[in-house]
Amino acid sequence: MYKCFFKRILDIVIALCGLIVTCIPMLVVAFLIKTDSEGPILYRQKRLGKDGKVFEMLKFRSMYVNSEFTGSGVYSNDSDIRVTKVGRFIRKTSIDELPQLLNVLKGDMSLIGPRPPLTYHPWPLEEYTDDQKRMFEVRPGITGWAQINGRKDVEWHKRIQLNVWYVDHVTFWLDVKIFFITILKVLRNDDNENKGETV
């Protein structure tokens, strides 16, 4: 019952509250992004969602326009010249993820769930095994089980195993645990830098 109904209700209520509480800080961030570099405030990126459906995930733009596929490619770190001054700060504090509350309201995402992978990375949908595809049985999340168990330090096969484990064990109390551990990790800036290309 929780997985099919109450989880969605909680997503809507918490996302609405989150947007109300953060609306002024988000407006400040939007202003800083516009004054720091040319380009849109929001960055839209195609991701794989529930049932493998492609959707556009929102983030505050943290890179210079048209720089995603130059330099370091998919990965970036603190020394990446593609990242703007404001972008460096909002990435370090995870503020760049706040627009995903709109994805939650729309129904593309949940607050808690597997992080949605890119459509082409680590590999296209058709290259996932049947067991790996089970991670797409639930809405992807802003944070999830893999994020509190290593995040960017965990290689992709392990991340997907953690995501499938979450699908099999999702409960209200597990989501509460993930939520509060995520807040702690964000405050401590744990596991928030790519160490290299995970495989």
Mean per-residue pLDDT pooled into runs of 10, the chain (199 residues): 90 97 96 95 97 98 80 58 93 95 98 97 96 97 94 87 97 97 88 51
The pLDDT of residue 188 = 86
What are the boundaries of each domain within the chain?
Answer: 2-188
The pLDDT of residue 1 = 83
| Residues ≥6 apart with Cβ < 8 Å to 81 | 71
φ, ψ dihedrals at 80, nearest 5°: -70, 120
The pLDDT of residue 47 = 98
DSSP secondary structure letters along the chain: -IIIIIHHHHHHHHHHHHHHHHHHHHHHHHHHHHHHSSS-SEEEEEEE-GGG-EEEEEEE--B-TT-TTSTTTT---TT-TTB-HHHHHHHHTTGGGTTHHHHHHHTS-EEESPPPPBSSSS--GGGS-TTGGGGGGS--EEE-TTGGGTGGGS-HHHHHHHHHHHHHH--HHHHHHHHHHHHHHHHHTTT-S--S---
The pLDDT of residue 130 = 97
Q: How far apart are CA 46 and CA 40, in angstroms?
A: 16
The pLDDT of residue 67 = 74
33: number of CA atoms within 13 Å, CB side? 26
The pLDDT of residue 75 = 54
The pLDDT of residue 4 = 80
